[in-house]
Structures are given as C-alpha cells and as structure tokens.
Chains A and B, each alone.
Chain A
Amino acid sequence: MSRALTIGRIGPGVTLQDEGRAGYLGFGLSRGGAADRLALAEGAALLGQGRDLAVLEMAGMGGDFTAGADLRIALTGAPMQATLDGAALAWNASHAMPKGAVLSIGGARMGSYGYLHVGGGFDAPKRLGARGAHLAAGLGAPLEQGARLDTGAETGDQTGLTLDPGERFGGGTIRMVESFQTALFPQDQVERFTATEFRRGARGNRMGVPLEQEGAGFTLEGGRNVLSDVVVPGDIQMTGDGTPYVLLAECQTTGGYPRIGTVLPCDMPRLVQAGPGAPLRFAFVTLDEAVELEREAARHVETMGKRLSPLLRDPQRMGDLLSYDLISGVSAGDTHKH
C-alpha cells in the first residue's frame, strides 16, 4: 500500500517546498524554500512533526488530491476553499484524510500562498541537499496532473487541532532596516518611499514582487552604474524604471540595482502573503530593534505548539460542523495504522 497522494486537477503554481538550500550563496544559488516560512512552522506544529519536512506550496490556487492511504494533513498559509469528499474543511487546522478520500482545494480567499502538509512530510529525492523546487535555478518544476507524491514515515497521530495564523494576509506596515545602499538614495526619495502607500503588484513570483503606486518612480543618479554586490531576501531594489521590487526566497544572490532597505525576516511572511492589490507601507527600525523583533518572532515559533487548540464547533456553521464531526470522528479512532 502506497502512502501517496495523487494529484488530479492542479493550479499552475503548486510546488514542493521546504526550508531551502543554505550554503550555496558563493555559487550563485539562493536559499529558496517556502515563500512563507511561518507556514512551515505552523504545519509542523499542527501535525506535531519537524519543520524541515517538505510541504506543498500553492500559489493562489490549489488542486484535487486523492489519498492512497490513511493520512494526516494540515492546511496553513493563505486561507483557501477546501473540502474533503465534498464536506467543508477548516483552514489553519489539521485533519485526518482517510484512504481514498478526495481533498479539493480551490482559490485563495485572501493572501497569496496556501500550504498543504502531510504527516511524515512529502518524500522526494533531495537535490543539492533539499527537496524544494527552486524554479529560478531550474531545480524542480510546478507539479502536474497525475503526479504521485510519496509521503515519509508517519511519526504522530494528532488531528483536529487549529492554530491562529495572526493578521498576515491583508498587507499593512512592513518593517525594514537600512541597506548598505540606502545612503545612495537622496534623502527626499527615502522619505517619499516611507510616506507612500504601495499596493502589492499582481505580477510577483517566488523571486520577487513589484510594489505599485501612482507617483513617480524612485530613481537615483548613476543607479545603472552601481557595482553588483550581495543581495539578500527582503531587499527592496529599484529597477531601472524606478519600480521597487521586494526580493523573495528565490532571489538572485548578487545584483546591481540599488537597494533602499531590507525587510525584516519576521515581517516577510506578511509581505509575501499580501494578496495582489493589498496595501503595503514600509517603516525603518534600527538594527537593535530588528534583532529584538527577530528574537520575539523566534520565541513565537518555538512556543507555537502550546497555542494549538481543538477545532471549535461553531453553532452558526452547522454544515461545517457535520464535516468537523466526521473528521474528528475518524481522528478519534485508530488512524495510526500502517
């Protein structure tokens, strides 16, 4: 019996992801990995397993998946329409998925990237130390209809749990630190940047997202002659026409477009998850403040398991309630056999 998930209908931007490949910056290969790293931690907490396991990242749209064995799943990141054999399924939660059941995941209701986690993680050959696709580098590719995804050895049995994802799907104010190139920009351009309300552009991908606004672009004298130097995820670079791009997990490792600031790693999930058109503002914090914010964020991740709660039965949503009962009923039984 294969502990696999078979893909039926599938959206165009579904890839296997994990924590990415650290250690290849000197060879020009950026780390890559899940666009929303916080979602990796949430799925791991919901299923009581490691954060290093591979998951499915779904850009804007999911697909249909059939279980080849009794599996446990968790759904995190951008909330999407989801049903299991036609019954509505709660997002930000873990569920049992019995053998033969069909999980159907539609479009994102808000945010950008949804995640499907399985007990044991998805098993695929590692390439350069990781399983995740790095599309910009030509490592792996979006998944296609008919593909069969093997899962790793199951190590837990908890399901029917939920976790509050916080406010991270509607944009807002994103904190950044000064880049080593911020000083290349005239002061008035920097001030205008932090005073501007941007919208997340629709064209973004795993390399970066454009920031749109009505006013003039952000340009600087001699910007096209800046020597290429190291680029990191979170860098906000100004392309030739003055459109800011926030660079993401699959960004280039070096580049010549000047950077006006660098988004804090702990604010990247909120930036990445801002759906097309979501409002975004940017505010500088000091390096010391940034380190403290990172420390808080790390603590938040470490203590995530303590904030799990059982899926509540909301009397307002009787239809859903039946599906929750069905699912938790399965999970209360012996789902852990293989």
Chain B
Amino acid sequence: MEQETAEPPIIRSVGVDGMLVSFADRLSEPANRAALALSAALEREAWDGVEEVSSSLVSSFVRFDPLYLSHAGLREKLELLVESRDWRAAALPGGRRLWHIPTVFGTELAPQLGQAAEAAGMSEAEAIASLSGARVRVQAIGFAPGQPYLGELPAPWDIPRQSNLTKRIPEGALAVAIRQMVLFSVSTPTGWQHVGQTAIRLFQPEAEQPFLLRPGDEAQFTPVDAETLESMRRDPHGGAESEPIR
C-alpha cells in the first residue's frame, strides 16, 4: 500500500457531468487526508460551472455543467490545483470531535459478529476487544444521509463484503468489511456484516444540524448490554457523547 502514496492522483470523468480526482485505488491514511483537503479547497475555489463538490474515501468529486464548462477546461483547472501542493501532507479538517458511541456487540441485535470474527480469524471475545479498542476516523460520509465510513481497522479485518445481501440492516447498525466499519443511518439492504448495534441517529432532518458526524471526526465504540442500549434510545444521540480533538 505504501508505494501508492508516490503515484500522482488520477483524474477521470464520472458520467457526463462529473469529474473525480483519486489519490489511490486502495484506502490509505494519506490518500484519505488528501481527498478531504482537496475537496475543501475545491469548495473554496467555487469555479464557475462547478455545481457541487463532495469527498469520498480517497477521491474528490466535482459535479459540473458540461454545457457551460468543458471537460478539457475543468481537467486543466483540476490538474493545476492538484499539482499546486502535496495534498497527502495536508492537515485534517478543523473542529474535529471524538465520539464515544455505546454499542451492543453480537447477540440477536447484531447477529453476524460470529461469522465476521471467524473470517477475521478471531474468537468473538477477541473480535469485540479489537473492534471496541480501535479508534477510527470518519473517512467519508456517503451511501446514505449522514452515514460514515470509518477506518482503518487492524489488518485481520480485511474481509470481503458478502455476495448475498442482508435484506434489511437496521438504523444504527455497525457493520464491517475491508478494514472499515459503516454505521448505518437508514435501514437498507447491505453486503456488510452486522457486528454491533447502536442507538445513534445520524440523520435528523428537522434538527438544526441534520447530519451528526463530519468527515475527520473520530469514533470509538464502547461495549454495553442490550438493556443499557434500550435506555439510551430516548436520547437523540443514542447515548453517544463527543469531545473536541485538539
């Protein structure tokens, strides 16, 4: 994975009205840092014809009006900006927070802990210790509203997604695959393995801040029992607490 950090970012089109700058084809800390920083810079640039910027795990995405700004024109602007500095060495976004999120690991609330632990070559107890001990970063918000991709987990968690979709994973589910965790903001079908359950509500459309987590935030999942979790459901944050990262 290390040699990728030396590769130049690649710029590719997405559909007819999108352009993607990718810093790697596998997840790495520097590539994620670079994507976050470049996306923030693109927001500040606010080029004419650019309609929206977002950040994924290792890429920055630009949606634009190709009838107003040509692909060649946008590519040239992107190349200049990308070459203007070392994005992989950029600072993380400001105002980051560390979230402590109460989580039930395993039991009928999170029925795939056993199979995920086995795939990672661990006992269930080892898996809980490993997952709850990991301090992970919100590498991107995506898939569903407010939903974080969290990583990076220790190497044994490089397990594939399932080929058969789980029909419905509940809101607040914590799931693993490919050294990452996803904390689900909506109930949805998924190929990720359901190892934990939280009471957090990541998307609250009526709240002043509808999206709870931000890219760059960090999280740690504290084991609790089902009864404790149930008592936290009345709290809009599901018992989760945050502290600023200095």
Contact = CB atoms under 8 A, between A and B. Distances in A.
Interface of A: 22-29, 127-128, 136-139, 177, 179-180, 224-225, 227-230, 232, 234-235, 239-241, 252-256, 262, 264-265, 287, 290-291, 294-295, 298
A230 B61 contact: yes
Which of A29, A127, A294 has the most B CB atoms < 10 Å from its CB?
Answer: A29
A26 B27 contact: no
A26 B54 contact: yes
A25 B203 contact: no
27 contacts: A23-B52, A25-B54, A28-B145, A28-B146, A138-B203, A138-B205, A177-B13, A177-B15, A224-B160, A228-B143, A229-B20, A229-B22, A229-B56, A229-B57, A229-B59, A230-B14, A230-B20, A230-B142, A240-B163, A240-B164, A240-B191, A252-B143, A254-B56, A256-B161, A291-B67, A294-B66, A295-B67
A37 to B, nearest CB: 13
Given A241-B163, A253-B144, 6 more contacts: A24-B145, A28-B141, A28-B145, A227-B27, A262-B14, A291-B16
A50 B122 CA distance: 60
A128 B203 CA distance: 12
Interface residues of B, number: 54
A40 to B, nearest CB: 18
Contacts of B13: 177, 180, 287
B196 interface: no
Given A137-B145, A138-B203, A234 B58 contact: no
A139 B186 CA distance: 11
In the A-B complex, list the 4 residue pairs whose CB atoms are closest, starting with the nearest.
A254-B142, A26-B54, A262-B15, A240-B163
Contacts of B54: 25-26, 230, 253
Interface in B67-120: 67, 70-71
Given A128-B210, A254-B142, A139 B52 contact: no
A138 B162 contact: no
A201 B56 CA distance: 30
A314 B226 CA distance: 69
The interface centre, meaning the residue of A128, A229, A232 with most chain B CB atoms within 10 A of its CB, is A229
A16 to B, nearest CB: 15
Nearest to B214: A27
Contacts of A265: 15-17
A4 to B, nearest CB: 24
Contacts of A23: 52
Contacts of A224: 160-163, 191
B14 A28 contact: no
A298 B215 CA distance: 36
Contact of B18 (A225, A232, A240, A298): A232
A29 B67 CA distance: 25
Contacts of A138: 145, 186, 203, 205
B220 interface: no
Given A179-B15, A240-B165, A294-B67, A127 B205 contact: yes
A265 B215 CA distance: 29
Contacts of B14: 179-180, 230, 232, 262
B40 to A, nearest CB: 10
B233 interface: no
B51 interface: yes
